[in-house]
Structures are given as structure tokens and as C-alpha cells.
A and B are shown apart, each in its own frame.
Chain A
Amino acid sequence: MAINWPISPRRLRELGVLGMNQRNGEFIAEMNSRRYYPLVDDKLLSKELAEEAGLTVPQLYGVIRTTHEIKGLSTLVGQHEEFVIKPANGAGGDGILVIEGKQSDKPLVYRRSSGRPIDIDSIGLHISNILAGAYSLGGRPDVALIEYRVKFSPLFAKISFQGVPDIRTVVYRGHPVMAMVRLPTSQSDGKANLHQGAIGAGVDMASGRTLGGVAHNAHVTHHPDTHEPISNIAIPEWQSLLEMAAKCSDITGLGYIGVDVVLDRDLGPLILELNARPGLSIQVANGEGLRHRIDRVDRHLAHLDGHETAAERAAWSRENLAPMNL
């Protein structure tokens, strides 16, 4: 019992677990036309698109495009003491700087989300790194977005450590197929990144209630920092959240995307970012492979003309894609 043997490929296939190669070769390559990639890779573009479609997103305070604009940062942020700086083309959450408030006015020093102070020069340097392409794919020059810092809803406060928990929904051909909540831990340094040790908790599609969680691909029932149980927390406005996710698929034209939503204390669900290459850990978090749900969507779509509203699609998903037993 000491050795944790790997699972057999046959069993994985039975469970409908999607592997990286299959995801890349059969879903991303087939369903996502490369020309639409910039719509999700460029967070500025996707933010504009989402706003046009009437979806709620964190408010954009401003964009810094050139090095000399960095000086204007303080006027750009204006009276906002809390804000987030992120590269428009960053990958995997790299290069995001969260400012929690001012430490002192003179000299200008801010406070990072981790509590550490950061002076305005260091912020400027971080922005210039973003502009030079330090965090963008292929090192291309980038722009920096300054936007509203989410005041996250107390819903997950008990089961997250610092940082902002978010809800990732995978949308296949316009239908939300699977969702999970990503809960930051001390190990993940307050980031909602599963690779770094954040907890992924599956969500029941029908009810919007959290299921059990996983960390580092192993089961957890309680948050390691707060020791609170992870499961059975109801996400409010679940239907509208799924509708938002479904709409994101429409506005980007991508057939297989991940939609990251945060719950704001005051503003409700906000779309944080879109991902054309959503990871596979969501399957572990839900204890279920994506394949069977995807097949069910395909079968469902075979009888339809594809003009259902986002609300109809979200409702269908809730009815038909609840955890499926094998």
C-alpha cells in the first residue's frame, strides 16, 4: 500500500479523462481557430469584447503602452488605492502584481497583496518588464493593464488563504461542461494556481455546490491553512455565472475555452480572464473525465440548429451534465 502505482491508461480512457495530447490535438486544434486566439490571449481585447456583450468585468483604470507612460501611473490610478497590474498577454498568471493599498504617501509606497511594501519605482520597473515582454508568450513587447482589484466575496473566505479564489468553467461548443473553484493556500503563495499548490474543488453542475477538493493531484477534504471543510458550499447566482461562461464562448468564437470568474463582494461575478488552453486538473478536482460530458454535448448538438440562447445552454448543462456515474 506504500507505493502509489500509476493508473492504467485503459482505466483512464474508460473514465473519459482527457490527456494533454488529446486536448491539444483533438480539441484545441480542432475547435479553436488560431485567428481567434488573440481575442483571449490579449486580455485587453477580451475585456473589451466582454463589455460589448454586456458581461461584467473588472473595471479598467488604464493601459500603459510605452515606458514614458509609466510616470503617469499615479494619475492613472487616481484615487484608487487598490489596483491590479497585469500584462495583457501574460501566460499562466505570470507577471500579475496586486496592490492592496497605500503604505505611505511620501515617498509613495504601496502594499502588495502579500503584505510586503513596494515603492512606486519598483512598480514602475515591473511595468517596464511587462512592456519589454518578460511575461508574454515568445517575449513579444506587451502592454500593461491597470484594473480594479476584486474585493472578493466572503463566500470562500473560510477556505482560502490570502489571494482571490476563482471559478474556472470549461465551455465546450457553447455549453459549460465542467467547473471548479480554485482556492489559494499558503503553499501557493496566495495564488489560485493548482501547479503551485492551490486547491481545486469540483463543482456540481446542477446545484453549483462545491464537491471535494484536490491539491497536488491528491484528495483533500479540508483547507490546509484554515482547516475548514471544502465541500458543499453553494455558489450564488450559479445560473447567471454559467450563462456568462457560455456567452464568452460566443464572443470569442472558440469551441473549447476556460472562463475564469471571480465573485466580487459588491459587483457579483466578474470575468477575470479567458483561456484558450484550459488545463486538465479540473478533471481531478471533479473526479471525472471531460470526455463523457463532451460526447454528451456533441450528441445533444447533433439534433439542434445551434441557436439556443446562453441561458438555455446553461440550463441544459445543469440538467444533463451533473456528475455522471459510470
Chain B
Amino acid sequence: MRRFHLLFVVLLLTLVGLSVAYYKHSSLGFPLTPDRETETWTVEAQIAMDTGAGPVSVRFALPTAPPHYSVLDESFVSRGWGLTTQSTDRQQEAVWTKRNPEGDQTLYYQATVYRDQEEIESSPYPGPADPPKLEEPLKSAAEAFIEEIRAESADIQTFATLLVKEVNAARPHENIAAFLKPDATEAERTRLAIRLLAIARIPARMSHGVTLKDEGRNLRSTTWLEVHNSRRWVPIDPRTGKVGYPRNFLVWWYGDRPPIEASGLDESELTFATTRTLRDAVETAQLLSTIAQSRLIDFSLLELPIDVQNTYRVLLLVPLGALIIVLLRNIIGIRTFGTFMPVLIALSFRETELVGGVVMFTLIVALGLAIRFYLEHLKLLLVPRLAAVVIVVILLMALISIVSHQLGLQVGLSVGLFPMVILAMTIERVSIVWEEHGPADALTQGAGSLAVAALAYLVMVNTYVTHLFFVFPELLLVVLALTLLLGRYTGYRLTELFRFRAFKTLAHAKRPPAPEDSR
């Protein structure tokens, strides 16, 4: 019964820990390894204006939930201008106003975007498009054209593709030649495509965006076509009919309208500059989940002030150290001074590095022991003696720091981070074991403690481990589950297989002689 109960708790903890971590990794993009960087793009829109006299108001469309991308961060540079942002018809807009601008003015908008989805999100069907009013004979020509394409296509997407190809053909179909001037611009061709699609009652819209490229300067927006296939908007290149946006295309605004609507302006020009930046993957994931308003991230350690974060970076490793202690003591069977003393020593090794730490630990404990044996002669009471050892330990640490500084050894300076009270208690324990059980026992346990501390240190300084537990603290539930499981381990310890070696011969000797083979 208890067995199943434990197994249930263990499974539950493991499941919760792993699934939360999996969700954070797969959905929010928290990286499993520390050095991962993600590609983000910084896009800058520059609006150059030639202002006349009198107040000016500039409305500028901002990227709003662009397909494939998330906006991680945005900023405006517009000294002396009043700025408000508003959202109309699912489009974000910035409105700049100024009463008396003089001459040339430039406004900047900067956004950091990150490509986080491969699929375009589905969106509700807007309803069939209203067919445009057309005069005869254009109406018949257009309808005939539509019928012809419909016959050749399988679905809305192929229909739109074929239609766009026809519109762009070098020698347009005779039925639509009437709609097109030979020197029609891209925008005009797209507009025509939308009108023709409307005759087929297919909802379509124009989209405009920038192709992101590293160190891109003076980029202009390009127009794209989107048709709704009743599940989602499907982008189609209005020049070639190719389906889908190019990989680095960032949609900025929708609709057949300019991105800038201004009053009081003589002239305005919109250009874009883009640049690729590599950002720490954790940071990106964090920004992303803040935007996604994931409740989970509110409970993340990454939201804490930096100094508290650094404390937890260390604290979260203590459970792992404890698990190592459990493993080494209950499965391997190594004897140590104090149950968790090696973990604390390992934590201080983080500052001193392994070799330096081991050397200094040994040095301090050895010197401390010598002093402790001397204090024994003074016949002090226990608590004052412990206090004296603490004082001596601190003096020794200061001395080691000074000497190593004089010698130009940096490692000696970090000795101050050793837990001196723990050291003093260790010295006391060692001296008691030394007196009561002899030096051999004291040295075995001392070496055991150091070995455990060194192993715990090696695990705890591993950057992958540090990263994993800090970004996914829920993995501690898995550590807890493992610890609980080990708590019921009643098998032999590894050292017992050596300890009970004598049974190899004993048991044979005690066996009754095998009956004679009566063959």
C-alpha cells in the first residue's frame, strides 16, 4: 500500500516537473542549453517629412500580430512630438502630433521581432466578398474569365494562384486585357486581382511589409496578396502567384491604403532599415511569454531582481547536491563528516575552483586541527573552544588570503567564501573522531567528505546543469521524486559488497558437504 502511494507521488511529481518543463521549452521556447541564441530582427521605420506651416498630425500603421513573427519590443523616437498609440480595426497605429513643426522632420519607430511560428494562425472567415459592380461588356468578360480559371483550379488557393498568374502574364488573357493598362503597377495588378477574386466571392486583401535583411538600409515596403481559404489567410505573391511569404518577410499593415495618413504635410517618405541581432534565447523566451501573457512566467525566477536571481542560481543547486549525497551515502556508501557539510563545501568551491578549493580546505582543516589539539591542552569548555576554533579559522583564512595575494595567486583571495562555522564544526568533528576512533578513521571520513564535495562541485558548476535548473526550476520536483524513490532503496550499498567479502569463503565453509555423486 505504502509502496503504491510512494510510486504514485513519485510519478506525479515527475510528470508535473517534466511536463511544465516541456511546455516551457516547446511552447515558450526556453532553451535547454545555456549558450543558445535566437535570431531576432530590429526593424526601424523612418518617416521623413517636409512640413508646412501649422499643426501636423501623422497616423502611422504599426505591425500588428504579423504572421510568423512576434513583436518583442517597440520604441518610438520623436523628440518634441506628441505621441499616442491606438488600435483600430485590428490594426495598431501611432499618432504623432505637433503644433508648429519647422522644415524637415524625421520620426522613427523601432520594433524587435522574432520569428516564432512556422504556421499561419487560423482566423475566422470574413464572409464572402461583395462582387464589384461592373458595366457590360466588362461584366461578362470578367465572369467568363473567372469561369475559365475555376474550371482549371481545385480550390481557393490554386484558383487565386492561377488568377494572379494570368493578371501578371506578359500577354494577358483577352477577357481581362480590358481591365489592365499595359504599364500597370504592382499595386494596380494586385487591386485587379482582389476585384476579380471578389467576383468569385473569394475574400482577399492586400498586405504590405518589409523583407528583413541584415544591415538593410532604405528598404521600401512591398505589396502582397492574401486570400482567405475559409480557415486562414493564405499569402500569395501578387507577382508570381507563389503561395506563402518569403522567410524573412514581415507584414506591416493590411488593406489598400498608405501606411501614413497625415494632415498638414507637404510630403512624406517611409523607408525601413533592418538588422539581424542575436539575442540570448532565455531573454527572448521571457519576452515572448510576457507578450503571450503566460501565467506560468509570472512565477518564473527570471522576474526577480538580478541579485536575488543570482542567489537562486546557487540555491537551486543545493537540492542537486543533496541528491548526490543521498546517492553517494546510501547507494555507494561513502562515509562523510556531517550529512550535508560536503554540499556547503562544494558551494564554496564554486568561488575557488576545484584544485584551489581542495588545497585550501585541506590546509585550513589541517592547521585548524593542529590548533584544536593545542587548545585541548588548555582544557577549555566546549563552546568557548568552538568559538576559539572559529576565530582561528577566520584568522587562518585571512592569512592565506594575504600570503597568496603577496605571491600573486588569485585563488587565495576567494577563501573568504568558505563557510567558516561549518569549517570549525568540521574541525571539531574530525578531532573527536581522531581521538575516539583513531587517525585512520578521521582521514577516511575526511577524504570521503572531500571526494563527495568535489563530485557535487563538478555537477554543480556544470553550466548545462546550472542553466537547466535555473530556467526550469520545476525540475526540482523530479529531483524530489528521485530522492523519495531512493528513500525506499533497501538494497546493498556498493561498499557493503566489499565489507561483506568475507562471506565468499565463510558461506562455503559453512555449507554441508555436497552428497557424494552416486553414479
A283 within 8 A of B: yes
Known: A287-B506, A287-B507, A325-B510. A6 touches B493 (CB 8 A): no
Residue interface bits A13-29, CB-to-B below 8 A is 1, else 0: 10101011110011000
B382 within 8 A of A: yes
Kindly identify which residue among B437, B506, B507 contacts A195, using a CB–CB cutoff of 8 Å.
Answer: B437
The residues of B that contact A218 with a CB separation of less than 8 Å are 502
Q: In residues 1-20 of chain A, which contact B (Cβ within 8 Å)?
A: 4-9, 11-13, 15, 17, 19-20
Cβ A21 vs Cβ B502 within 8 A: no
Cβ B503 vs Cβ A21 within 8 A: no
Known: A19-B490, A326-B510. A7 touches B497 (CB 8 A): yes
Q: In residues 503-518 of chain B, which contact A (Cβ within 8 Å)?
A: 503-507, 509-512
Taking the closest CB of chain A, its distance from the CB of B327, in whole angstroms, is 12
Residue interface bits A268-291, CB-to-B below 8 A is 1, else 0: 000000000000000110011100
Known: A19-B491, A21-B489. A7 touches B381 (CB 8 A): no
B90 within 8 A of A: no
Q: In residues 271-326 of chain A, which contact B (Cβ within 8 Å)?
A: 283-284, 287-289, 323, 325-326
Cβ B330 vs Cβ A7 within 8 A: no
Taking the closest CB of chain A, its distance from the CB of B325, in whole angstroms, is 15
Cβ A21 vs Cβ B490 within 8 A: yes
Taking the closest CB of chain A, its distance from the CB of B388, in whole angstroms, is 14
Known: A8-B497, A21-B489, A284-B503. A134 touches B437 (CB 8 A): no
Cβ B502 vs Cβ A19 within 8 A: no
Cβ A20 vs Cβ B500 within 8 A: no
- Between A5, A129, A218, the greatest number of chain B beta carbons within 10 A of the residue's beta carbon is seen for A129
Known: A12-B503, A195-B437. A287 touches B489 (CB 8 A): no
Chain A's closest residue to B384 (CB) is A132
The residues of A that contact B154 with a CB separation of less than 8 Å are none
Q: In residues 469-519 of chain B, which contact A (Cβ within 8 Å)?
A: 488-493, 496-507, 509-512
Known: A7-B497, A217-B502, A284-B500. A132 touches B509 (CB 8 A): no
B441 within 8 A of A: yes
Taking the closest CB of chain A, its distance from the CB of B491, in whole angstroms, is 6
Q: Contact residue range for chain A?
A: 35 or more
Taking the closest CB of chain A, its distance from the CB of B511, in whole angstroms, is 6
The residues of B that contact A26 with a CB separation of less than 8 Å are 490
Cβ B382 vs Cβ A325 within 8 A: no
A251 within 8 A of B: no
- Between B330, B507, B509, the greatest number of chain A beta carbons within 10 A of the residue's beta carbon is seen for B507
Cβ A12 vs Cβ B500 within 8 A: yes
Cβ A122 vs Cβ B499 within 8 A: no
Taking the closest CB of chain B, its distance from the CB of A136, in whole angstroms, is 11
A169 within 8 A of B: no
Chain B's closest residue to A90 (CB) is B436
Taking the closest CB of chain B, its distance from the CB of A187, in whole angstroms, is 9
Chain A's closest residue to B381 (CB) is A128
Cβ B492 vs Cβ A325 within 8 A: no
Cβ A219 vs Cβ B511 within 8 A: no
- Between A7, A8, A193, A196, the greatest number of chain B beta carbons within 10 A of the residue's beta carbon is seen for A7
Known: A19-B493, A284-B503, A287-B507. A134 touches B432 (CB 8 A): yes
A121 within 8 A of B: yes
A94 within 8 A of B: yes
Taking the closest CB of chain A, its distance from the CB of B493, in whole angstroms, is 6
- Whole-angstrom CA separation of A284 from B499 in the bound complex: 9
Q: Which A positions have Cβ atoms within 8 angstroms of B? A: 4-9, 11-13, 15, 17, 19-22, 25-26, 67, 92-95, 121-122, 125, 128-129, 132-135, 189, 193, 195-196, 214, 217-219, 283-284, 287-289, 323, 325-326
Closest 4 CB pairs of A and B: A132-B382, A287-B506, A6-B497, A19-B492
What are 29 A-B residue pairs whose CB atoms fall within 8 Å in the complex? A5-B504, A7-B504, A9-B492, A9-B497, A12-B492, A12-B500, A12-B503, A19-B490, A19-B493, A19-B496, A20-B493, A21-B491, A21-B492, A22-B491, A22-B492, A26-B490, A121-B379, A122-B379, A125-B379, A125-B381, A134-B432, A195-B437, A195-B441, A218-B502, A283-B500, A284-B502, A287-B502, A287-B509, A288-B507
Known A-B contacts: A12-B496, A288-B506. Give 5 more (CB < 8 A): A94-B436, A122-B379, A189-B438, A218-B502, A284-B499
